[in-house]
Amino acid sequence: MNRSEYKSKIRNHYDKIALERDKLKKKNWYYHKEVERCCSFIVPPNSSVLEIGCGTGDLLNSLKPLRGLGIDISTEMISVAKKKFPKLDFQIGDAESLDINEKFDYVVMSDLVGMLYDVQVVFHNLKKVTKPETRIIITYYNYLWEPILKLAEKLGLKMKQELQNWLSIADLQGLLDLNNYEVIKKEKKFLFPKYIFLISPFINRFIANLPLINKTNLVEIIVAKEIVNKNNFDDYTCSVIIPCRNELGNIEGAVSRTPEMGKHTELIFIDGNSTDGTEKKIERLMEIHKEKDIKLIHQGDGIGKGDAVRKGFSAAKGDVLMILDADLTVLPEDLPKFWNALLEGKGEFINGSRLVYQMEGEAMRFLNILGNKLFSLLFSFLLGQRFKDTLCGTKVLLKKDYEKIVTGRSFFGDFDPFGDFDLIFGASKASLKIIELPVRYHDRTYGSTNISRFRHGWLLLKMSVIAMKKLKFV
């Protein structure tokens, strides 16, 4: 069967069932609502969204887009969608030609790739509608379920479909890579597609997310983005955020040793009501080093490093945001490594990792190392990628990406006084590409840590449980 014959067959099939589509979907309403819920977790409301293979428009409508465009090869499907959702835009269109002159924040292809004649051509044409910030969301069924789904069709429990392509996550990842897209998130969801009160939610929220069992889940989800080879370094400015409390002896080093990066670098100190003269030291250095752009923010009634970082980020004017801990246990001289990794397109959220190189004598105590390794295992499970050091203070991202984290912050709530989890979980929910950059961890040369191993360790564990409910058991 050639390309034209195949497309004609698919078009005729969906034209015939268009008027009955909604009735057929009601038989498996729970499955469709779960897919909508998973996509809504990734796509924030008021985004611009293109859905390719939109059918009668239910998924696109559930995403609450500010600008929503759905295309489908079926004339009848588009006709039904227009009547159901007049505020959205629906057009007859072919994914292999994609005659659209518009860029979107999100491109969704749900249960589509199995029916495409040439998946590679479709992925190649995505360049017409994507920009570097665009996220492509692909949902597809796990081929292990093929016999069960075919049986469901014969029993009338599922809408009949034409023969599907067999594409694993690895196949899709390879095809995306061929067309200069990279996968930044992949997961499998949804173990029990029929609704039984209490039982189905329990299985799909908890059991389905357990290691090994999740490999048998029904729905495979991929989030991908364009591969960015290099940004223009010369056009970017930088803000280095330095939270401090009783760090008098480290302030001068932070000022003198932090290198200039990009077109301009500003240093923003956020003082947490120090009692050792830290505030006066910063003010004196501002007078001495007028050639540097040094700012001081008083934390006031705010509590914790997380609050200080958020105040610093809000005041920052740079394109790139960096956090440097005032204890200087991660060297200011290492910040250009983070700058380069970000602007060379290696990642969108660069997290320092102190657990690669050997540490100096008392840089981190044994119980702290043990706690970090425990949280490393937990975060690797939660985020679906290897995460070695969750608590390194040095984190770097673009300001425009931080604004995405701010937009989605209400999902988790204000539960993190340290700021590390807030940023990491926020970056994951915003589908930013997270990478770790190894750094050497040095002894303090002044003062003592403000962290209590047991009290704060217990708090971090509680925050991890909250995040698990929000991220993994969504």
Confidence band, pLDDT 50/70/90 cuts, at residue 356: low
Answer for the pair 220, 139: CB distance below 8 angstroms, yes or no: yes
Q: Does residue 240 share a domain with residue 221?
A: no
SS3 content of the chain, % helix, strand, coil (to 5): 45, 15, 40
Return the number of other C-beta atoms located less than 10 Å from residue 212's C-beta. Answer: 6
Burial 235-263 (b: 16+ CB within 10 A, else e): ebbbbbbbbbbbbbbbbebbbeebeebbe
Mean pLDDT on 187-216: 90
* For residue 363, pLDDT beyond 50: no
Cα separation, 472 vs 125, whole angstroms: 32
The per-residue pLDDT for 43 is 96
At 17, which CATH number? 3.40.50.150
Cα-only R_g, the chain: 25
Q: Does residue 286 share a domain with residue 169?
A: no
Which tops the pLDDT comparison, 381 or 332?
Answer: 332
Last residue of a domain, one of 198, 226, 254: 226
Confidence band, pLDDT 50/70/90 cuts, at residue 360: low
Burial of residue 382, with CB atoms counted within 10 A of its CB: 0-12 exposed, 13-18 middle, 19 or more buried: buried
Task: Give the pLDDT confidence of 387-414 residue by residue, as tens digits.
Answer: 777 778 899 999 999 999 998 887 776 6
Q: Does residue 399 share a domain with residue 381?
A: yes
Task: Give the pLDDT confidence of 45-80 residue by residue, as tens digits.
Answer: 999 999 999 999 999 999 999 999 999 999 999 999
Mean pLDDT on 352-374: 61
Query: Which residues are within 8 A (CB) of 143 and not within 5 positions of it... i.e. 6 or more apart?
Result: 166, 167, 168
The per-residue pLDDT for 168 is 83
Task: Give the pLDDT confidence of 292-313 residue by residue, as tens digits.
Answer: 999 999 999 988 899 999 999 9
Q: Does residue 285 share a domain with residue 201?
A: no
Q: Does residue 267 share a domain with residue 203?
A: no
* For residue 347, pLDDT beyond 60: yes
What is the domain count for the chain? Answer: 2
Query: Which residues are within 8 A (CB) of 474 and not within 5 positions of it... i.e. 6 or more apart?
Result: 37, 38, 41, 205
Q: What is the mean pLDDT of the chain?
A: 87
Task: Give the pLDDT confidence of 219-257 residue by residue, as tens digits.
Answer: 999 999 999 877 667 789 999 999 999 999 999 999 999
Last residue of a domain, one of 226, 246, 275: 226
Confidence band, pLDDT 50/70/90 cuts, at residue 376: low
Helix axes 453-467, 420-429, angle to 10 degrees: 20
Q: Does residue 387 share a domain with residue 358?
A: yes
Mean pLDDT on 332-347: 94
Integer angstrom CA distances of residue 50 from 21, 47, 66, 90, 138:
21, 10, 11, 10, 12
At 456, which CATH number? 3.90.550.10
**6-10, 55-59, 95-99, 159-163: range with lowest mean pLDDT:** 159-163
Q: Does residue 173 share a domain with residue 70?
A: yes
- Which structural domain, as residue segments, surrounds residue 351? 233-472
Q: Does residue 182 share a domain with residue 52?
A: yes
Q: Does residue 272 share a domain with residue 138?
A: no
Mean pLDDT on 337-343: 94
The per-residue pLDDT for 451 is 55
What is the phi/psi pair of residue 59, to 5°?
Answer: -65, -45
Q: Does residue 431 share a domain with residue 333?
A: yes
Last residue of a domain, one of 194, 226, 258: 226
Q: Does residue 165 share a domain with residue 266?
A: no
Q: Does residue 295 share a domain with residue 216?
A: no
